[in-house]
Homo-oligomer: A and B are copies of this chain.
Amino acid sequence: MAENKKMVEAITSMDEDFAKWYTDIVKKAELIEYTSVKGCMVIRPYGYAIWENIQRILDGMFKQTGHENVNMPMFIPESLLQKEKDHVEGFAPEVAWVTYGGSEKLEERLCVRPTSETLFCEHFANIVHSYRDLPKLYNQWVSVVRWEKTTRPFLRSREFLWQEGHTIHATAEEAIEETERMLNVYTRFCEESLAMPVVQGRKTDSDKFAGAEATYCIEALMHDGKALQAGTSHYFGDGFAKAFDITFTDKNNKMQFVHETSWGVTTRLIGAIIMTHGDDNGLVLPPAVAPIQVVILPIAQHKPGVLDKAAQLKERLSKIARVKLDDSDNSPGWKFSEYEMKGVPLRLEIGPRDIEQNQCVIVRRDNREKTVVSLDELEQKIPELLAAVHDGLYQKALANREARTYACTTMEEIPAALEKNGDGFIKAMWCGDEACEDKVKEVTGVGSRCIPFKQEKLADTCVCCGKPAQHMVYWGKAY
């Protein structure tokens, strides 16, 4: 029991130390464990099961939109990485280099992929010849490596898991449409499966992906008022195609360059879930990705009939939800804390008196609301309650974001708003000049997050220089 008791010790409260609260949760909910390689972590069964649910749902959405999975090598020869100038400049400083194979020094260094544009480009150049070969709509689920200085589980690690979509198209219009389509897929996934509202927008030029013409993104606001980039979708134009000579003959037998996109989300989404929904009792999981959606806890389980009934319920409810029965001899109190820590959306309690009355008690993780439910109505009630948890999480996160989004028209208002209300999104006008973008960050501490698709005209002039404004921008402190 000594081991177990550790689990119910309270975690650091969010208000006291948000960063510590976060790492307490990733450890105590058994999502990850550290390793002897800095910035590389073990994703434990409970954490990995969340990722498997994310994968399953997203993979289905990718396949529905016509994408196929492939697998590229993890190594990129240095000369291949260097083919696209902006791309290599962006990534070379943070890649891991393989220099030896066994005891032999390699003739050319290989980097462990930080992202796979160059590999996909080499492949596309090999397999595409005619307009009939287009489009190619590819995706892969792999891990990538970026040699970060400071690391945090899920949010910034040296190796992380992700999916990277890479597509090529006959025309710029088609490629732009794809870039937007996949941003919409990510948005729908975040809102419908993670209960996490996001702002869709475009990155400013200084914040684009290395080699992209345009980077679109979705930005979410965490509990602590910091912004988190939850997914990106890049339009490359024909820049990579020219660097890698990816051409095709069109219907008029004319040689053309392809137009390319890439898009990705990572295990960072698990960090986003924690910081969007978690509370001082631990993780709170959106039902769609929760490894356990309903935990059945028998009460007074030594009494005759209780464990049998609980086992029957587990069997019966497994048809409609991911259900776990905990019939261990830990105390109910310990179990309550344990499954709160693990963020299980619904807790179903059943004891001798419940059985007598043909009912059980269901407790929602998000708001602790208790409902007494007839055992005859579980097939209807459980999906309703799971949907209610999802809605509750979404509405709470949306309300948090709205309460923490401040429209500012002068530079002075920015730190004042953050000071008064806590960190959050700043909405402010911008002239489009990078110098102003830098100055806002320098003076107020918030960087540009995106130029949202939904524009508002808060003022006529740039919040920084007073010249005519071109865009309304979301600014914030970022993970």
Q: Which residues of A contact B (CB under 8 A)?
A: 3, 33, 35-37, 40-45, 48-49, 51-52, 68-77, 80, 92-103, 109-110, 112, 119, 122-123, 126-127, 129-130, 132-133, 138, 142-143, 145, 147, 158-159, 161
B97 contacts A99, C-beta separation under 8 Å: yes
Contacts of A36 in B (CB 8 A): 77, 80, 122
Report Cα–Cα, A101/B69, bound state, in Å: 29
The contact of A99 among B69, B100, B119, by CB within 8 Å, is B100
Report Cα–Cα, A313/B49, bound state, in Å: 37
A71 contacts B98, C-beta separation under 8 Å: no
Contacts of A142 in B (CB 8 A): 143
Oligomer copy total: 2
B99 contacts A159, C-beta separation under 8 Å: no
A42 contacts B72, C-beta separation under 8 Å: yes
A3 contacts B133, C-beta separation under 8 Å: yes
Contacts of A69 in B (CB 8 A): 45, 48-49, 52
Q: A102-B147, A159-B75 are in contact. Are A68 and B45 (CB under 8 A)?
A: yes
B52 contacts A110, C-beta separation under 8 Å: no
Contacts of A122 in B (CB 8 A): 35-36
B33 contacts A126, C-beta separation under 8 Å: yes
B159 contacts A74, C-beta separation under 8 Å: yes
Contacts of A49 in B (CB 8 A): 68-69
Contacts of A71 in B (CB 8 A): 42-43, 48, 51, 143, 161
Report Cα–Cα, A109/B101, bound state, in Å: 12
Which residue of chain B is the closest to A100 with respect to CB atoms?
A: B97
